[in-house]
Amino acid sequence: MKKQNNMLFFVMSLLCMQMLSAQAMTVSGTVSDAQTGEALLGAQVFVKGTFVGTTTDDNGAFSLDVESGATLVVNYIGYKSQEVGVSEGQALLSVQLEADVLKQDEVVVTGLASSVKRRNLATAVAKLSGDELNGSPSQSLDQALGGKFAGVHIRRNTGAPGGGMSVNLRGVATIAGETQPLYVVDGIIVNNFANQSGLDVVSAATGAGSPRPQGQPSNRIADINPSDIESVEVLKGASAAAIYGAKASNGVIIITTKRGTSGKTKVNFSQRFGSRNIINKQGHRVFETYQEAEDQYGPDIAALGNDAGGNWANRDIDYEDALYGETGNLKETSLSINGGNQSTQFFLSGQYLDEGDIIVNRGYERVSGRANIDHRVNDKLKVATTVYLSNSFSDRGITGNDNTNKSFNFSFAFTPSFLDIRQNEDGSWPDNAANPSNPLHTAAVLTNEETVNRAMGSTRLDYNLMRNSDMSLDLIGTLSADYVGQENTVFSPPDLQDERGKSNPGTSVLTNHNSLNTNASFNLAHRMSLGGAKLNTTAGYQAETVDYNNSMIIATGMVVTQTNIDQSAATSALQTRRKQQDRGWFVQEEVAVGENIHVSLGVRSDRSSTLGDTEKSHMYPKFAASYRTGEIAIFDDLKVRTSYGVTGNMPLPFAKYTAMSPLNIGGMSGLVTSGLKGLDGIEPEEMTELEYGFDGSIMNGLLGFEFTLYNQNITGLLLEVEEAPSTGYTNKWANAGDMKTNGMELDLVLNPVRTRDLNWVSRLSYYTTSSEITRLEVDPYNTGGFATFLGAYRIEKGWSPHTMVGAELDANGVHTILGNETPDFIMGLNNRVQFGAFSLVAHIDVKQGGDIINLQKLIADLGGTTFDYDDQTLDLDGDGTKSGNGDERLTVLGGVTAPYIEDGSYVRLSELSFNWDVPKSFLAGKVSSMQVGVSARDLWLSTDYTGWNPDVSQFGNVAVGGSVDTGPYPMSKALYFNVSVGL
Partner 1 sequence: MNNLKNILPLLLVTLWFGCEDLDFPDPNAPSTDVATVQTLVTGAEAGMRSSYALYLREVSSVGRETYYLEPADPRYTGELLRGPLDPGGFLVYSPWASRYRVIANCRILMTQFADDAGASGFAKTIEAYQLSLILNMQNENGCKIAPYNGLESDFVSKDAGWAEVAALLDAGYSELNSAGSSFSFTLSSGFAGFDTPATFAQFNRALRARVAVQHDDWSTALTALDNSFMDPAGAMSHGVYHVYSSGQGDGGNGMYADPTATFVKLMAHPTYETDAEAGDPRFSSKVVERATEITYDGLTSDLAPTMWTGDYDPVAMIRNEELVLLKAEANIGNGGDGLAEINVVRAAHGLADASSGGLSQLLHEKRYSLFLEGHRWVDMRHYGLLGELPIDRDGDEVFTSYPQPESEVPGS
Distance of alpha carbon 875 from its chain centroid, rounded? Answer: 42
CA–CA dist 660, 363 (Å, integer) = 40
- Report CA-CA distances (Å) from 696 to 360, 550, 702, 706: 51, 50, 11, 7
Complex with partner 1: residue 630 or 662, whichever CB lies closer? 662
Instruction: Provide, rounded to whole angstroms, the least separation between the CB of residue 493 and partner 1.
Output: 16
Residue 228 DSSP SS3? helix
Complex with partner 1: residue 616 or 920, whichever CB lies closer? 616
Complex with partner 1: residue 8 or 619, whichever CB lies closer? 8
Complex with partner 1: residue 22 or 668, whichever CB lies closer? 668
Please count the CA atoms within 13 angstroms of the CA of 122 that sit on its side-chain side: 24
> Rounded to the nearest 5 degrees, what angle is found at the Cα of 27, between the Cα atoms of 23 and 28?
165
| E strand or H helix that includes residue 828 | strand 823-835
Complex with partner 1: residue 654 or 825, whichever CB lies closer? 654
Complex with partner 1: residue 502 or 920, whichever CB lies closer? 502
Instruction: Provide, rounded to whole angstroms, the least separation between the CB of residue 668 and partner 1.
Output: 5
Of residues 975, 976, 910, 974, the one with CA closest to residue 941:
910
CA–CA dist 952, 851 (Å, integer) = 11
CA–CA dist 196, 218 (Å, integer) = 8
Instruction: Provide, rounded to whole angstroms, the least separation between the CB of residue 526 and partner 1.
Output: 11
Handedness of CA 437, 440, 445, 447 (dihedral sign): positive
Q: Which residues 6+ apart lie within 8 Å of 910 measured at CB?
A: 136, 146, 147, 843, 844, 845, 937, 938
Instruction: Provide, rounded to whole angstroms, the least separation between the CB of residue 704 and partner 1.
Output: 42
Complex with partner 1: residue 4 or 921, whichever CB lies closer? 4
Instruction: Provide, rounded to whole angstroms, the least separation between the CB of residue 430 and partner 1.
Output: 10
- Burial class, 560, CB count within 10 angstroms (exposed 0-12 / middle 13-18 / buried 19+): exposed
CA–CA dist 369, 334 (Å, integer) = 10
- Burial class, 60, CB count within 10 angstroms (exposed 0-12 / middle 13-18 / buried 19+): buried
Of residues 543, 677, 521, 546, the one with CA closest to residue 610:
546
Instruction: Provide, rounded to whole angstroms, the least separation between the CB of residue 436 and partner 1.
Output: 4
Ramachandran angles phi, psi of 472, nearest 5°: -150, 150
Instruction: Provide, rounded to whole angstroms, the least separation between the CB of residue 678 and partner 1.
Output: 8
Complex with partner 1: residue 209 or 630, whichever CB lies closer? 209
Complex with partner 1: residue 363 or 651, whichever CB lies closer? 651
Instruction: Provide, rounded to whole angstroms, the least separation between the CB of residue 133 and partner 1.
Output: 35
Instruction: Provide, rounded to whole angstroms, the least separation between the CB of residue 556 and partner 1.
Output: 7
Of residues 671, 741, 672, 745, the one with CA closest to residue 705:
745
Complex with partner 1: residue 5 or 561, whichever CB lies closer? 5
Complex with partner 1: residue 584 or 823, whichever CB lies closer? 584
Complex with partner 1: residue 329 or 580, whichever CB lies closer? 580
Instruction: Provide, rounded to whole angstroms, the least separation between the CB of residue 788 and partner 1.
Output: 5
CA–CA dist 669, 845 (Å, integer) = 54
Instruction: Provide, rounded to whole angstroms, the least separation between the CB of residue 622 and partner 1.
Output: 21
- Cα Rg, the chain, nearest whole Å: 30
| E strand map for 438-532 | 447-468, 471-492, 507-530
Sheet holding 815-820, edge to edge: 781-783, 792-795, 803-809, 815-820
Instruction: Provide, rounded to whole angstroms, the least separation between the CB of residue 676 and partner 1.
Output: 11
Query: Pairing state of beta strands 229-235 and 252-257?
Result: antiparallel
